[in-house]
Amino acid sequence: MAVPAYAQSAANASGETLPQDPQGDAGAVSAGSADIVVTGSRAIRDGSQAPTPVTVMAAEDLAKGQPGLIGEALNQLPSFRGSTRPAGAFTGAVGPQSGSYLNLRNLGVQRTLVLIDGRRAAPSSRDGSTDINLFPQELVKRVDIVTGGASAAYGSDAVAGVVNFVLDTRFTGIKATAQAGISDKGDAPTYKASITAGQSFAEGRGRIVASATYFEMGGIQSVGDRDWGQRGTGFLGNPAVPGQLIFRNDLRSSTASPGGLILSGPLAFQQFAPGGTLVPYSRGSAQSGLIQVGGDGAQVFSNLSADVTTRSYFGHAEFDVTPSLTLYAQGSLALARNHYNQAQQFNPGGFNGFTIFSGNAFLNPAVQQVLTDTNTPAFAMGRVNFDFGEPANATARARTLDLTAGFRFAGAGGLQIEGYFEHGRNRTNIRTYNNVALERLYAAADAVRDPATSQIVCRVALTNPGLYPGCVPINLFGAGAPSQAAIAYVEGASSYTTNFTQDVADLSLRAQPFSTWAGPVSIAAGGQYRRVALNQVADDIAQSINDATGIRGFPPAYQNQPGGWLLTNVFPVKGAYHLWEVFAEAAVPLARDLPFLHALDINGAVRYTNYSTSGGVTTWKAGMVWEPAAGVRLRGTASRDIRAPNVPELFAGIVQNTGSVIENGITVPIVQAARGNPSLQPEKADTYTAGIVLSPAFAPGLTLSVDYYSIDIAGIISSLTPQLTLNQCLAGATSLCANITRNTAGQITRIESPTLNLNRLATSGLDIELGYRPRGQVLGGAASVRFIASYLDKQRQDISNGPSIDRAGEVGLSANPRWSATGSLDWKSGPVELFVQERFIGAGTYDVTRVEPRTIENNRVKSVFYTDLTAAVRLKEGYRFFLTVNNLFDRAPPLAPNGTLFTFIPTNPLLYDVTGRQFTAGVNIKF
C-alpha cells in the first residue's frame, strides 16, 4: 500500500487532537513534514476530520499495559477478539499457531490488513498473514487502528479494518531496554533486550536508524500447571439425559488407559498392569462415548502457551537529494522459534485403538489361555502411550525478510508523490517431534514368534518380507512395557516447509488542485502491482496413502486415506497470483462556520482491482463529517470492501489432523481434513459506520465518541469446523453431507472441510471511547483517563441451505462477548509514574445453539475483570525503572471448556488470561 493520509495533527478515535509528533512517518516528504495517521482515507489530511473511526494507541501506553509482546498489548483492546497469540493453547501444527496474528471483530486474521508506515507488511505465514511479533517493536511509536472497511483506500483484506504500525524512523540518539518477568507460579519467564540508535548526517539531509530486539517467553506446557486446570474440567454428553451437554471435573478417557484397556471379548474392561497382568478397570461415575468421569481412564492435559523466541533486526536510511526529493531504503530481518506440546500419543478404542490378535507374542500366558479357551480370535484395546516419552511437540522456525526502496517528492500546489518497491519473503519450517508413523505402529503391534528362530518379530516381516524394513515389534501390555528400540521405530518427526513471497510496486500522489469557499479540495490517486507466491513442501510420510498392506488391525479411519502420521499431515502446495489496481479519492469541504453548520465535509473513493485468478472487482467508499456546532461532530461512512482468496485457500492440498465431534450426545473421534478450492471468488462486504464525537467546551480535555458499525460479508471464504459440518448436514444442508465419511456401522470416521464461498457473515455493534485529560493537577501530578468499550449486537453466519446462527454473546465455543472494555488511568508527578488498567470481559453464553436445560445443563459463562499495574521512576536523566504486574489479583479464567477427543482446556484461551499473576521488571535507557 502506499502512504496513508497526511495529517496536520493526529487524533484518537474520539477525534481528540493529539500533540503533533515532530518527526515524519512513511508519508513524510522532508524532515519537517507533519505526522501521519491512517484514517481510512488517503486524501484527508487531518485525522480528526476523518469520517471513519480510528483508535490511536501510543506504544508507550501499550507497553505500560503489557510490557512483553506488542501483540499481547493490542489484544487487550475490545476491538480485537479471537486473535492467534502465544498464550492461546495450541495442539495443532498445521498453520501459524503461536505468533501474534491480529483479528479485528473476530472476523478472521485474513480480513485484517496490517501495514507498516502505511505500506502492506511482509507476510510471515503460509496464508499471507503477518506475525506482528516480528516487527521492530522498539521503533513502533504508535498504532493506528481503523475499525471499519477501508478496501477502497488501502486495498484487499481491509474488510474488518486496518492496523498501521508507525515507526520512529527519524529517531536520533541511543536507547535500550532490558527486562525480565515471571509468573507467581514460577513459570512462564520472559526476557527482553533491545538497542536502537539513530543519527543524522550531511547537515541533516540524511538520516539513518537501526534497531535490534531479542525476546524470549517460556511457555506453559500443561493445563495441570494451574490449580484451575488440575481439576480436569471438560464436557460430555449426559448419559442420563440424552442430548444434554454437561460440564464435569476429572474427565478421562473411557476407552483407553495408560497400560492398555481391553474393550471387547471375555476380558472386556480389564486393564493391563505393569508386567502384563490384568487388573480390574474402574469406569467412573458416568460414561459418554470416549469420555468418562473419574475412574481409571487415561487423563491427558493440553498445553497452555507456547515457548516463543524472536530476534528482529531493522535498518532505515533516507536522504534528501533536494528539498523536494527524498530517497529511502529500509530492510528488516526477523527470526522466530516457537515451541509447544501437541498431544500425548494416543490410541483410544473406538477410533484408532489396537486390535490385539490371539497369539500375540507379548501377551501374558494367563491372558492368552483365556483367549484360547474361549476361542477368541482378537480383542480391541485402547491405550494412551505415556511410556512413549515426551508428548508429540511442534517447533516452528520462521525467517522473514522485508526490503523496501522508494522515493518521496513534494511539488508546487501541495503535490506529493511517493513510489516504492517492496520485496517480502518468509520461510517457515514446522516439525512435529515424537510423532507416530501409523503403518509402523500397527505393524509393530502385531507381534508373533518366528517359527524358524522363535524370536519375536513383526508379523508383516513373515507375511510381507521387506515391505516394512527394520520393523521392531512393540509390547503394549502394561505401562512401561514398550522397548526404546520399538518406540524409536514407530516414532519420527513430520515436517513441512513453506516459502512465501510478496512483491509490491506502488505509485501514489496527492494534491490540492483547487478550493471551494469552505477550504481546499484534496485528491489522491495511484496504482499498485502485487504478486504473491507460495511453495510448500512436506515429508514423504505425510503425503503417503495408508494402504497398510499386510497389516492386521489397521484402523478403518485411516485405511486408504492420505496422511501417514498420527499428527500434522500436510500436503505440498504451489501456487501464485498477481493483481493490479488503480484508485482515486477526493475530500471536499462544503461548509464552514454557518448557523447549524459549523463544518461539513464529504469524502469518496473508488478502486478497481484485477486479479489473475478471479478477474476484476470494484470497491468504493463514501463518507461525511458534519459539525452542527463546535464540539459536536457527526460522522458516517458506507463502503464496499473485498477480500480475495489467498494461495492456500485456492491451491492447498489436504491438511489432515485428528479431532472429534458430538453426534447424538456422544463424542465421536474423527480424522478432520481441510483442502483448498481453485474456484473461489472474492468476498464482498457492505460496511456502514455512523457515530458522534463530543468535545464539550464546559469540560476541557474531555472527549466522548460513540460509533455504530455494520459489516455484512457475502460469499465468505472459510472452512466449516467438523462439528458445524455435521450440525448443518443434520439440519438440512444436504450438500455438506457428502463431506462426511462413515464406516459400515454408521459411525463417522472422517470429515472433510473444503474451503468454500459460504453464504454470509454479518456483524454489528457499538464502539465507545472516552478520554479525559484534566487541565490542572490531580494529587500533585498530571493525569489522564481513557476508556474503550465495545458492544457486540450481532455475529451471524448464514450457510446455504442451512440455518442462520448468531454467535453474539458466545464466549465458550467462540470469542464473541457482547460487552468488553479496557479502561486506564495514567498519573505522573516528577520522576514517579503510575498506570492502572482494568480489563473487562462480559458474561456470555457457552454455546448459542444449545438451550438450558434440554440440550445443556448450564449455558452461562461468568464475567471477569483483570487489573494491571505499572509503577515507574526516573532516577536520573535517561534512566527509567519500571515494575508491571499483570492480572494483579490472579483472577482464574471463567469455566468454558474447549477440547477434542478427551483432552480439554477448561477455559477459552482466545479470550481469557491463562497465565495468572505475572511480574515484569526492567529499565529503559535513552541518551
Contact 667, 594 (CB under 8 A): no
Residue 895: which of 903, 904, 884 has the closest Cα?
Answer: 904
Task: Give pLDDT, residue 95.
Answer: 57
Place 294 in a pLDDT band, splitting at 50, 70 and 90: very high
Residue 197: which of 168, 239, 154 has the closest Cα?
Answer: 168
3-class secondary-structure state, position 135:
coil
Asked if the model's pLDDT at residue 311 lies above 60, the reply is yes
Task: Give pLDDT, residue 401.
Answer: 95
Task: Give pLDDT, residue 43.
Answer: 66
Place 593 in a pLDDT band, splitting at 50, 70 and 90: confident
Q: Which residue has the higher pLDDT, 213 or 84?
A: 213
Contact 489, 472 (CB under 8 A): yes
Most confident of 109-113, 376-380, 671-675, 897-901: 376-380
Lowest average pLDDT, out of 84-98, 658-672, 733-747, 888-902, goes to 84-98
* Distance separating alpha carbons of residues 59 and 370, to the nearest angstrom: 71
Mean pLDDT on 582-590: 93
Exposure string over 811-828, b if 16+ CB within 10 A, otherwise e = bbbbbbbbbbbbebbbbe
Task: Give pLDDT, residue 342.
Answer: 85
Task: Give pLDDT, residue 736.
Answer: 83
Q: Is the dihedral of CA 667, 673, 676, 679 positive or negative?
A: negative
Task: Give pLDDT, residue 4.
Answer: 31
Mean pLDDT on 622-647: 91
How far from 446 is each of 302, 315, 356, 472, 475, CA to CA, in Å?
30, 59, 7, 10, 9
* Distance separating alpha carbons of residues 533 and 423, to the nearest angstrom: 12
- Please state whether beta strands 300-301 and 903-905 pair in parallel, antiparallel, or not at all (unpaired): parallel
Task: Give pLDDT, residue 262.
Answer: 98
Q: What is the pLDDT of residues 857-878, one digit of tens each?
A: 999 999 999 999 999 999 888 8
Q: Is the dihedral of CA 257, 259, 265, 268 positive or negative?
A: negative
What is the phi/psi pair of residue 326, to 5°? -120, 130
Contact 495, 430 (CB under 8 A): yes
H-run or E-run covering 444: helix 438-445
* Distance separating alpha carbons of residues 167 and 335, to the nearest angstrom: 19
Indicate the pTM of the whole model: 0.88
Three cell numbers written together for 140: 513502533
Largest CA distance in the chain: 106
Alpha helix ranges (H) inside 175-242: 227-230
Q: Give first-to-last CA distance, the chain, whole Å.
A: 34
Contact 349, 326 (CB under 8 A): no
Three cell numbers written together for 485: 528400540
Query: What residue has cell string 479485528?
Result: 104
* Distance separating alpha carbons of residues 892 and 913, to the nearest angstrom: 8
Residue 40: which of 767, 793, 708, 641 has the closest Cα?
Answer: 641
Residue 371: which of 285, 477, 483 has the closest Cα?
Answer: 477
* Distance separating alpha carbons of residues 131 and 440, to the nearest angstrom: 37
For the chain, percent of residues with pLDDT exceeding 70: 93
3-class secondary-structure state, position 897:
coil
User: Which superfamily, per CATH, for 47-224+304-343+393-433+495-645+680-719+755-926?
Assistant: TonB-dependent receptor, beta-barrel domain (2.40.170.20)
Three cell numbers written together for 730: 443434520
Q: What is the pLDDT of residues 606-615, one digit of tens each?
A: 999 999 988 8
Q: What is the pLDDT of residues 134-184, one digit of tens each?
A: 888 889 999 999 887 788 888 888 899 999 999 999 999 999 999 999 999
Mean pLDDT on 125-138: 85
Contact 424, 479 (CB under 8 A): no
Q: To the nearest whole number, what is the mean pLDDT of the chain? A: 88
* Distance separating alpha carbons of residues 334 and 200, to the nearest angstrom: 25
Asked if the model's pLDDT at residue 3 lies above 60, the reply is no
Q: Which residue has the higher pLDDT, 628 or 677?
A: 628
Asked if the model's pLDDT at residue 274 lies above 90, the reply is yes
Task: Give pLDDT, residue 29.
Answer: 28
What is the phi/psi pair of residue 369, to 5°? -65, -40
Task: Give pLDDT, residue 914.
Answer: 92
Q: What is the pLDDT of residues 497-509, one digit of tens each?
A: 999 999 999 999 9
Q: Is the dihedral of CA 42, 46, 48, 49 positive or negative?
A: negative
Asked if the model's pLDDT at residue 108 lies above 70, the reply is yes
Label residue 661 exposed, middle or buried (CB < 10 Å: 0-12, 13-18, 19+). buried
Residue 786: left if φ>0, alpha if ψ -120 to 50, beta else—which one? Answer: beta
DSSP-derived secondary structure for 749-785: EEEEEE-EE-SEEEEEEEEEEEEE--SS-BTTBEEEE
- Name the residue ranges covered by the structural domains of the chain: 47-224+304-343+393-433+495-645+680-719+755-926
Q: Is the dihedral of CA 94, 98, 100, 106 positive or negative?
A: positive
Task: Give pLDDT, residue 750.
Answer: 85
Three cell numbers written together for 427: 520461510
What is the separation of C-alpha 512 from the centre of its chain, rounded to a whole number of angstroms?
Answer: 41
What type of residue is 237?
A: G
What is the phi/psi pair of residue 653, to 5°? -80, -165
Label residue 560 exposed, middle or buried (CB < 10 Å: 0-12, 13-18, 19+). exposed
Q: What is the pLDDT of residues 318-359, one digit of tens each?
A: 999 999 999 999 999 999 998 888 889 999 998 899 999 999
Most confident of 22-31, 230-239, 271-280, 549-558: 271-280
DSSP assignment letter at 220: B
Residue 342: left if φ>0, alpha if ψ -120 to 50, beta else—which one? Answer: alpha
Lowest average pLDDT, out of 106-110, 403-407, 656-660, 739-743, goes to 656-660
Label residue 774 exposed, middle or buried (CB < 10 Å: 0-12, 13-18, 19+). middle
Q: What is the pLDDT of residues 67-97, one digit of tens each?
A: 988 888 998 999 998 887 776 655 566 655 5
Three cell numbers written together for 503: 512483491
Number of H helices, E strands in the chain: 11, 53
Residues with Cβ within 8 Å of residue 198, at least 6 apart in sequence: 170, 171, 172, 173, 207, 208, 209, 210
Contact 151, 41 (CB under 8 A): no
How far from 66 is each of 31, 62, 69, 826, CA to CA, in Å?
32, 6, 7, 14
What is the phi/psi pair of residue 813, to 5°? -80, -20
* Distance separating alpha carbons of residues 302 and 370, to the nearest angstrom: 38
Three cell numbers written together for 128: 499471507
DSSP assignment letter at 258: S
Asked if the model's pLDDT at residue 2 lies above 50, the reply is no
Gyration radius of the chain's alpha carbons: 30
